[in-house]
Amino acid sequence: MVSQPMTQPVTMYGIPNCDTIKKARSWLSDHGVDYIFHDYRNNGIDQALLDDLIERAGWPALLNRAGTTFRKLPEADRADLDRERAAALMLAQPGMIKRPVLLAGERTEIGFKPDRYAALFG
Does 96 qualify as catalytic in the annotation?
Answer: no
Which candidate in 6, 18, 81, 120 is catalytic?
A: 18
| E strands in 24-95 | 36-39
Q: Which residues are catalytic?
A: 18
